[in-house]
Amino acid sequence: MIISDNLSRVLESIESARIKAGRTDRVTLVGVSKTHPASAVRAAFAAGLTDFGENRMQEALPKIAEADILAVWHLVGHLQSNKAKKAALAFDWIHSIDSHETGTLVARAADQAGRSVRILLEVNTSGEESKHGVPPERALPLAEALAPLDGRGIVIAGLMTVGPLGGDEAANRRAFALLRSLRDRIQSLIPGCSELSMGMSGDFTSAILEGSTMVRVGSAIFGARTYPEAAQ
């Protein structure tokens, strides 16, 4: 497996989907490096990838230090409130804010450190109980609750979702279209809330067709991964 070749193929697929959708805006590729070593991160960075995603704090913090690169780091996994302060100091983006408490803790820690962390509100658009995120009807109230903190340690930059488990293209696109419609409503309250983090290795082309501005791709770049049972 050559990471640079994999990266090139993913970027070509992103560009093809963007053109098919008739879009002229950019799509950010976040390479999800969970379970892969810092050496793989450095190889992807050397090949031109600038944004990296991690799921678990206990894996991410030493990897970020060991990789020692000027990259943009994204927390894409669930964030427990008791780890909000560490996340606010380690990551540039947090994709998984699904409560007022966690958002407030991140804002407070970042503000005290003189940082500004871009956050995404996680929405469970598939209704699957195994997934984190607020239900769609709670997305706007969460945005309203966090809006006073926008610009005070956090920037409410958009929304995130995970597509249906094993969903076909039609089911994926319904979930992604729902997130887009929620984003459009929230933008009337928070104009800067423009990002849509949706789409992974198996469904990112469908996500781009529905307006995704940020795709989280792991195995298509880094190869197959193992899933340790250790908690975040």
Nearest to 160 by CA among 63, 60, 90, 55: 55
In a domain, 223, yes or no: no
In a domain, 220, yes or no: no
In a domain, 183, yes or no: yes
Q: What is the pLDDT of residue 24?
A: 95
**What's the domain count of the chain?**
1
Q: In this predicted model, what pLDDT tens digit does every residue of 11-59 receive, in sequence order?
A: 999 999 999 999 999 999 999 999 999 999 999 999 999 999 999 999 9
Nearest to 196 by CA among 218, 170, 173: 173
Regarding predicted confidence, which is higher, 92 or 226? Answer: 92
DSSP collapsed to 3 states, the chain: CCHHHHHHHHHHHHHHHHHHCCCCCCCEEEEECCCCCHHHHHHHHHCCCCEEEECCHHHHHHHHHHHCCCCEEEECCCCCHHHHHHHHHHCCEEEEECCHHHHHHHHHHHHHCCCCEEEEEEECCCCCCCCCCECHHHHHHHHHHHHHHECCCEEEEEEECCCCCCCCHHHHHHHHHHHHHHHHHHHCCCCCCCEEECCCCCCHHHHHHCCCCEEEECHHHHCCCCCCCCCC
Q: What is the pLDDT of residue 223?
A: 93
Q: Which residue has the tokens 């606010």?
A: 88
Q: Where in the sequence is the domain holding 33, given as residue range(s)? A: 3-209
The CATH number covering residue 171 comes to 3.20.20.10
Q: What is the mean pLDDT of residues 188-213?
A: 97
- Alpha-carbon distance 204 to 198, whole Å? 7
Q: How much is the pTM?
A: 0.95
Q: In this predicted model, what pLDDT tens digit does every residue of 114-153 receive, in sequence order?
A: 999 999 999 999 999 999 999 999 999 999 999 999 999 9
Q: What is the mean pLDDT of residues 177-192?
A: 97
In a domain, 227, yes or no: no
Residue 230 — very low, low, confident or very high, per pLDDT cuts 50/70/90? very low
In a domain, 230, yes or no: no
In a domain, 60, yes or no: yes
Q: What is the pLDDT of residue 232?
A: 44
Q: What is the pLDDT of residue 227?
A: 57
State yes or no: pLDDT of 66 exceeds 60: yes
In a domain, 72, yes or no: yes
Q: What is the mean pLDDT of residues 167-195?
A: 96
